[in-house]
Amino acid sequence: MKSGQEGESCGLVWVKDGKIGIKDPGPGGSPARLTPCEGVYFLVSGKRVDGEIPVTESSEVSLVFLNEEPSVSCAVQLTGDGLQAYLVIKAKDGVIYSLKDAEPAPHVRLEVDKKIVRPSLDYRDVLELVSSRGIVFGLDEGACKKACSELPQEPVLIARGQPATSGKDGSIEFAVPLERVVELPMDEVRVDFRDSVKIPDVKAGQVIAVKRMAVPGVPGKTVTGKAILPPMPIDPPLRAGRGVQLKQEGDLVMAIATVSGCPRFNEASGLLEVDQVFKHKGDVDLSSGNIRASGSVEVSGNVTEGMKVECEGNQEIWGTVTGASLKAWGSIVVKGSVFKSEVVAGKDVKWLRKWDSLTRNVEERIAVILEVEAQNRRLGEEEESTVPENPQAAHGEGAQETRSVALAGEIIDNSVLVEHFRQLLTALSDLYREDLSLLPKEVEEKVQTTRICLTSPGDLFQRVHCVEKEISAVRLWIEQELQKGQSDVIVRYVQSSNIEASRDIIVTGQGVFYCNLSAGRAVKVKGSPGLVRGGETVAAELIQVNEVGGYGPAVTVLRVSDRGKIVAGTVYPNTILSVGRLKVKTEHTLESVEVRMADGRLVIASKTGTIQVGG
pLDDT tops 70 at residue 361: yes
pTM of the model as a whole:
0.59
Quote helix, strand, coil % in the chain, to nearest 5: 25, 40, 35
Q: How far apart are CA 27 and CA 13, in angstroms?
A: 17
pLDDT grade for 7, boundaries at 50, 70 and 90: very low
Give the pLDDT of residue 479: 78
Percent pLDDT > 70 in the chain is 89
Give the pLDDT of residue 180: 66
277 alpha carbon, distance to own chain's centre: 23
Calculate the average pLDDT of the chain: 86
Amino acid at 81: D
Task: Count other Cβ atoms within 10 Å, centred on residue 22.
Answer: 23
110-147 pLDDT, tens digit per residue, is 999 999 999 999 999 999 999 999 999 999 999 999 99
257-273 pLDDT, tens digit per residue, is 999 888 999 988 999 99
Ordered structural domains, the chain, with CATH: 1-160 (no CATH), 171-275 (no CATH), 276-347 (no CATH), 350-484 (no CATH), 503-615 (2.160.20.70)
pLDDT tops 70 at residue 37: yes
- Asked if 311 contacts 343 with a C-beta cutoff of 8 angstroms, the reply is no
The SS3 call for residue 366 is helix
- Asked if 251 contacts 237 with a C-beta cutoff of 8 angstroms, the reply is no
222 alpha carbon, distance to own chain's centre: 39
The lowest-confidence range among 72-86, 276-290, 370-384 is 370-384
- Asked if 288 contacts 300 with a C-beta cutoff of 8 angstroms, the reply is no
pLDDT tops 60 at residue 8: no
Q: How far apart are CA 411 and CA 473, in angstroms?
A: 33
CA distances 69 to 97, 123, 153, 195, 310, Å, are 12, 20, 19, 95, 100
pLDDT tops 70 at residue 220: yes
Rg (CA), the chain: 56
Q: What is the arithmetic mean of pLDDT over 355-384?
A: 82
